[in-house]
Amino acid sequence: MKFDHAVWDMDGTLIDSSRVVPEAFVRAVAALNGPEVNINDVIAAYWRGTSEVILAHLVGRDLGPAEHDAYYRELAGVQVAAYPGVVATLDALRTEGLPVAVFTGTSTRAARILLSAAGLEADIIIGGDQVQNPKPAPDGMRLAAKLLGTTPERLILIGDSPLDLQAAKAAGSFSAAAAWGHMHDPSEPADVTLPTPQHLLPCCDR
């Protein structure tokens, strides 16, 4: 397996946001006088796309920019941590001259908040608001390849969700299942399954 760059999913791959993100949505829906929703309702809506799309779906109506801010107010100040081994792995990749690229289905604004809260820095952040079609479409990986100066076939996408692995396949990229993530489905095909973030390092052809 030879790739030029690694692209990382964020939620469930770099950071453990399995509680703080859906809880922020639940509070935001309540603040907007929407229907009663729970964490499972939020998780079931993740496939819909960006934070704004998910929030409007949960509230049940179109929302204006000021109303979308309700979610970001709830997200600000949350405590979230990187998964064990993430920091060391990203540092090792940077030592090898590989930038940290993140492709997440959430909005770029939310991604910056969450990565900062976890103490992580990314060189490239591609949010769902930067692509026309969300995962499992290949749009994000094609944009990542363009920004990294390579082709999708020379990228590997590390993600816990089946949508991540399907997006990699659709783009012709390598796929790596993040087995530590909360959305990991062992039945979803992947080019490689990583028990921990550090297991990516032996795959690097540097």
Per residue in 175-204, pLDDT tens?
Answer: 999 999 999 999 999 999 999 999 999 987
Q: Where are the domains of the chain?
A: 5-17+80-203, 20-75
Query: Are the C-beta atoms of residues 41 and 29 closer than 8 Å to each other?
Result: no
d(CA 27, CA 71): 8
* Interval 24-72: pLDDT, tens: 999 999 999 999 999 999 999 999 999 999 999 999 999 999 999 999 9
In whole angstroms, what is the distance from residue 110 CA to residue 25 CA?
Answer: 12
By percentage, how much of the chain surpasses pLDDT 90?
A: 94
CA distance 137 to 166: 8
pLDDT digits (tens, 9 = 90+) for 72-113: 999 998 999 999 999 999 999 999 999 999 999 999 999 999
> Is residue 101 classed as helix, strand or coil in its secondary structure?
strand
Query: In the CATH scheme, what is the code of domain 5-17+80-203?
Result: 3.40.50.1000
Token pair, residue 20, equals: 């703080």
Confirm if 3 and 156 have CB atoms less than 8 A apart.
yes
| 106 touches 43 (CB < 8 A) | no
Distance between CA atoms of 133 and 123, rounded to whole angstroms?
Answer: 22
